Amino acid sequence: MIYLDYSANTPVDEAVLQRFCEVERNCPGNANSRHAAGTAAKAAIDAAAQSIARSLNVQPAEIIYTSGASEANNFAIKSIARLERHHGRHIISTPLEHSSVSGSLTALQEQGYEIDLVDIRQDGTVDLAHLKELLRPDTILVAVTAVDSELGVVQPVAEIAEMLKACPHCHFHVDATQAVGKLPVSFAGIDTMSLTAHKFYGLNGIGVLVKRRGLALEPLIHGGESTTLYRSGTPTVALACSLALALEKAVSELPARVEHIRALNARLRTGLAQYPKVRINSPDTAVPQILNLSVQNVKGTVFQRELDARGVCVSVKSACSSDGLPSRAVFAVSHDRRNALSSWRISLSHLTTEQEITDFMQAFDACYNALTQ
């Protein structure tokens, strides 16, 4: 099998898995309990929060553990909307967002909130001039993905944060799910930021919402205080510790990982350019881990199925998206519905080998010749 779907899920790093097992064995107590085992568990999860905070250059008190990025996105967006409803009900986002963001916005729209989507430039980035035009006195939230999962476009987060300084009641939420482990991430000027461990070689079932200190949010899950006031329930100590190590490795090993991946991406782009019906949708400035392409007049689902039959795993749209519809992200950039329907994604890792790229190109060639004749 050739696995080229690392943006959907990554295999857990062996050291991270060992950390999880070690903590799970050695910390049986509930971190909310007032006894020796509970105290030990609380110390472990507090140490994890301190490690995560160091990796992200934030404060431990700004860390809220969640079940993943989808929960973190729902929590931030819906809570900010409720918090600021007396100041306004206008929210701005983009057509590039993950379904946990767009779905949250749809739910709020049904409750009377007004949602505007900012225009996307040809290179996939937010049109900052249009964003400035959309901002109003009653705008309470701007929600933008740092790196989108389909094209790998890097958004101008710092520039947006600077623009929003002039809007006292407007908060800034950044979905950093596809950014962490792919490029350096900064929380400067941001109110809330989501991430999840399984995108950077951690385990499924644990994520983080980074919340600016001083920002009061309404809990999404009620039932008493846990590691924070904002999310009740028994803390998942071993998962938190494993996320902390996965994040530490993702940050410290980033330069070496990216150098390897960039070389693989360049090789793919060169090889795919030899096929006249191939269109590369990811801009040159996209993160090298993500390469989106279309094969003219061949639906992405059809090409994916043919590659899968040859042992190659790629994605059509985000793994959490509905099937049968054109990619919103690709359509936003190309304005071509057929091209968006034909699009699919290769996502690379530092674990991807040169031999896998060779084998992929052979499988691609066979599929291309079979489907474009």
CB atoms within 10 A of CB 14: 9
3-state secondary structure 308-359: HHCCEECECCCCCCCCCCCCHHHHHHHCCHHHHHHEEEEECCCCCCHHHHHH
Radius of gyration over every alpha carbon of the chain, rounded to an integer in angstroms:
21
Residue 335, Ramachandran bin (φ over 0: left; ψ between -120 and 50: alpha; else beta): left
Angle between helices 254-272 and 354-371 (to 10 degrees): 30
CB atoms within 10 A of CB 32: 16
Q: 332 and 95 in contact (C-beta within 8 Å)?
A: yes
CA dist., res. 91 & res. 70, Å (int):
19
Q: Nearest to residue 241, comparing CAs of 76, 25, 75, 37?
A: 25
Q: 246 and 14 in contact (C-beta within 8 Å)?
A: no
Residues 6+ apart with CB under 8 A from 60: 46, 49, 50, 52, 53
CA dist., res. 289 & res. 301, Å (int):
21
CA dist., res. 77 & res. 72, Å (int):
9
CA dist., res. 101 & res. 370, Å (int):
38
Q: Nearest to residue 364, comparing CAs of 256, 247, 272?
A: 272
**Computed from CA positions of residues 146, 150, 152, 156, in that sequence, does the dihedral angle turn out positive or negative?**
negative
* Active-site residue (options: 21, 27, 313, 320): 320
Beta bridge partners of residue 280, listed in sequence order: 293
Catalytic residue flag (residue 320): yes
Tell me which residues are annotated as active site.
320
